[in-house]
Amino acid sequence: MEGFNDILDIYTDESASKSQRFRSICAISGLSNNLEKLKEELKNKINLYGLSELKFVEVKTHQPKVKCAKDFISVAVGYASRREIRIDVIIWDLQDSRNLIQGRDDKENLERMYFHLLRNIVERWKRFNCRFYPDEHSEYNYKKIVDYLNRTKYPRDEPYILKLFREKRLQFNFIEVKEQKSEEQVLIQLADLFVGIACFSRENADNFKSYKKKKEREAQDLLFPDILDKTDETEDIGKTFKNRFELIKLIKKECEECKIKISLNTCDFLKTFNPSQPINFWHYEPQGEYDKAPTRKE
């Protein structure tokens, strides 16, 4: 099968929204030659703005960091549009029916989300030999995740469908898992940027909607300067929020120009309806009553 001998590299980082309600993981994946070229371009951007590292939490009002974040987005979307990389983000809500349970084990829950995300990435690429490079977090058992993935086969078994011929199934083969220091690995920084934006976008959907309306009113005021809503003068979302909202809008704009379908207007946060898109904001929803987060063992 196509891609069996090619090695897929996957770099990941995770984040939580400020309120801790939303958690998220981002994975940057691709073949090593394309990822090496991407690394060099991103390193050049870091050097251009005189930074040692780009972290979403520090993208506030400092213009070199804001500009570097915008350049990271433009470069990454370009690579994704040429199908040289994928950017996959899985986001889950700790207040939905799956997670709002007593004794929830957040550590194991995140490890399960890693499994869902990595499994889907491998299946999208159809490349089954993989190297996994997560951001350095000693509290997570990445080896356990990989061991579980290595017992996974493709295509998925469908027990309720009777098939005339039994098709050959390929086994996942994660040959390496090695934690990375974000300050040394620019692809982890790219994952950090997208995962931070995803969580911020989801938590601040209402604020983003208000921001869009304010920008629309400002545009109207330029056309009709005599018609001015004086209450607008007291509105202040804050420079950090404005800069981050502009990053959200930039992702949408760049994707639109490259024919990558990302929704922003439907829910006022970044969302992908077709997960085959090379940039995929996947908002995980409970699959049924049986789908519950793991709980701590007494």
pLDDT of residue 1: 43
pLDDT of residue 240: 95
Beta-sheet pairing, 22-31 with 7-16: antiparallel
Cβ contacts of 200 within 8 Å, gap of 6 or more: 17, 18, 56, 244, 248
pLDDT in tens, 31-77: 999 999 999 999 999 999 999 999 999 999 999 999 999 999 999 99
| Cβ contact 114:145 at 8 Å | yes
pLDDT of residue 231: 40
Is the domain spanning 7-223+233-283 CATH 3.30.420.10? The answer is yes
CA separation for the pair 216, 211 (Å, rounded): 9
pLDDT of residue 167: 60
pTM summary value: 0.91
Whether omega for the bond prior to residue 155 falls within 30 degrees of 0, making it cis, is yes
Amino acid residing at 49: Y
pLDDT of residue 283: 97
| Cβ contact 53:182 at 8 Å | yes
pLDDT of residue 220: 64
Which tokens is 58 given? 């520090």
**What does the domain layout of the chain look like in residue ranges?**
7-223+233-283
Sort 177 into a burial class: Cβ within 10 Å, 0-12 / 13-18 / 19+. middle
pLDDT of residue 9: 98
pLDDT of residue 17: 94
Half-sphere exposure of 170 (CA within 13 A, CB side): 16
Low-confidence ranges of the chain (pLDDT < 50): 1-3, 162, 164, 224, 226-236
As a whole number of angstroms, the longest Cα–Cα distance in the chain is 74
